[in-house]
Amino acid sequence: MTDGLSLHPRHRRAIQTLVARHLPEVEVWAYGSRIDGRGHPGSDLDLVLRAPGPTPISRKKLARLKDAFTDSSIPFLVEAHDWALLPRAFRRRIEQKHVVLWDDATGAQ
């Protein structure tokens, strides 16, 4: 885990596969306890999804991805939020400490 994200490789691949299937055009950043050393194997995974441009992600598409996370074999809660809908102060905190989990230009990290 050279990027600092506390996430088993199989769970990382599962998340990347679901993102590729449901929202391949977004960039996905992980933030929170799994990257700042406070996490444990059962901690939730906090994700922010950054669509190209300032437009929010379709609510329907985001809901499908969230449902896919819930229905998957990933053994912890995956929280996914739309960057465009987050308050500016919260965005600044995430910008300071995050790990890119999926890049819309190159695919999996």
* AA identity, residue 8: H
Q: What is the DSSP letter of 30?
A: E
SS3 label, residue 104: coil
Catalytic residue (choose from 46, 67, 71, 103): 46
Task: State yes or no: is 46 an active-site residue.
Answer: yes
Q: What is the DSSP string of 63-86?
A: HHHHHHHHHSS-SS-EEEEEGGGS
Catalytic residue (choose from 44, 67, 82, 104): 44
Q: Residues with catalytic annotation?
A: 44, 46
